[in-house]
Structures are given as structure tokens and as C-alpha cells.
Structure 1
Amino acid sequence: MTGEEPLSKTNRINMLFDIYGQLLTDKQRTFLGLYFHDDYSLGEIAAEFEISRQAVYEHIKRAETALEEYETKLRLVAKHEERRRFADRIEAIFSSEPPAEMDELKEIVRKLYNID
């Protein structure tokens, strides 16, 4: 994920956290939530828990790594995004004038069923 825009990284981590957050340790969930959801700085988290900024950073990095590993293995976010693209295409087909061919719609529905 290096080189990613900060907002894009935040959005990705938040999506991964929403899906896989319960698989993290309590401390990882707390620190990640404070850092990405509540926009706390490392220093603010460190002061709140009376630990070093480095310790907070390490907890957050381990949590990010764990979330990415869960996604690599389970692909729930990727499947969600793929379903969203298909749903958007179906919506576009139904809104087109004149109506689009049914063959394309049937193919998209087939792909939806085969995502998992």
C-alpha cells in the first residue's frame, strides 16, 4: 500500500476494519479506531494510554497488516467491490434508452452468482 493517497488509505483501512475488525485484538481495535475513525494523533493515543508513540505506531501497523492479510485470504472487500460494479452496470442497462440487450444482463447475473 505504499504510495497510496492518505484519504484512499484511510478509506481502505476503514472498510477493512468494518469487515474484519472483530478479528483484531481489543488493543488493535481501540488504537485503529481512534487513529482512523476518530482522527486521533499517535501522540494523543500515546498520552491517553500512557505508552510511547512508537508503541502506538507498532500496534496500528500490526493491525493494518492483519487486516490486509485477512483480505488477501478471504477477499471480502474485493468481492463486495466486484458486486458493486456489477450492480452499477445492471442499473445502467435498465436506465439505457432503448433498453440494452438481455444477453449482457444475463452474463452479469451469471458473474454475480460466481463471485464466491
Structure 2
Amino acid sequence: MIEKKIEISMLYDFYSQLLTEKQRDIIDLYYNQDLSLGEIAQEFNISRQAVYDTIKRTEKILYDYEEKLKLLQLFRSKMINIENIQQKVLTLETKIESNISKELLKKEIDGIKLLFDQLLNN
């Protein structure tokens, strides 16, 4: 459930402007503000079932947007590349301290450049 909550919150961050104001408000209150169905229903003067239906319908819309636009997938891919670059830089730092050859340093730097190119071109 926590993974879904995080995923919906991230999808909301990317696609909220494509939702109606009511959909944005209900998803924000439910997933980001952690209000219950009853509390949201009271806020909007609608039934708990209407809140539930809106949440489920909006979740589907968010997943549909992601299937077509893939912004979350792109974000995750870029984060993986950034983590890989960070790890390579830390490894390179260790190798520099151990006085490795210029050839090996150049090879490590080329690997980092390649990761940067992948990051920029995705």
C-alpha cells in the first residue's frame, strides 16, 4: 500500500495539471494530506462512495497518462543514471588516491562521460 501511495503521489506530481480541479483536490487530500474518505466527503459535501469512485477513476487516469507519456519512467531512469554516476565518481576518487595509471583513470572518466550522455539523451 505504501508503494502505491508513493507511486500515485509521484504520478500526481507529474500529471496533476491534466486533472480537473476536483480530481486534483481529492487525490491531494487522500494521498498527500492523508485524509480519510469520510473527511474528504465532508469537505466536499458528497458521499464517501463518490469520493472513492473519484479516487479510483483518477488513479486510472493517472496510470493512463503514464502509459502514454512515461514521465515517471523517464524520471526513474534518470535517477538510476545519476546514482550510477555518483557511484562511479566515488570509485574514481578511491582509485585516484591509490595512484592508478593515467590509462585506467582515462577509462573510468570515459565511463562517466558515457553515463552523462545517456542521462542527457533520454
* Deviation for aligned residue 1:66: 0.8
Q: Which residue of 1 aligns with 2:101?
A: none
* Deviation for aligned residue 1:113: 3.1
2: CA distance between counterparts of 1:66 and 1:84?
24
Query: Could you report, residue by residue, the CA deviation over 1:76-95 in whole angstroms, capped at 9, with x for unpaired residues?
Result: 11111111111111111111
Report the structure, 1 or 2, having the larger helix content: 2
Identical pairs, percent: 43
Size of the aligned set, in residue pairs, is 110
Q: Which residue of 2 aligns with 1:93?
A: 88
Unmatched segments (≥5 aa) in structure 2: 97-104
* Deviation for aligned residue 1:38: 0.9
2:53 paired with 1:46: no
* Deviation for aligned residue 1:22: 0.8
Partner secondary structure for residue 35 of structure 2: coil
Q: Give every structure 1 segment of 4 or more consecutive aligned residues whose post-TM-superposition deviation is greater than 2 Å.
A: none
**Kept after mapping to 1: 8 A contact 2:11/2:66:** yes
Unmatched segments (≥5 aa) in structure 1: 1-5
Q: Which residue of 1 aligns with 2:102?
A: none
C-alpha RMSD of the superposition: 1.4
2: CA distance between counterparts of 1:102 and 1:14?
36
State TM-score, norm by structure 1.
0.86
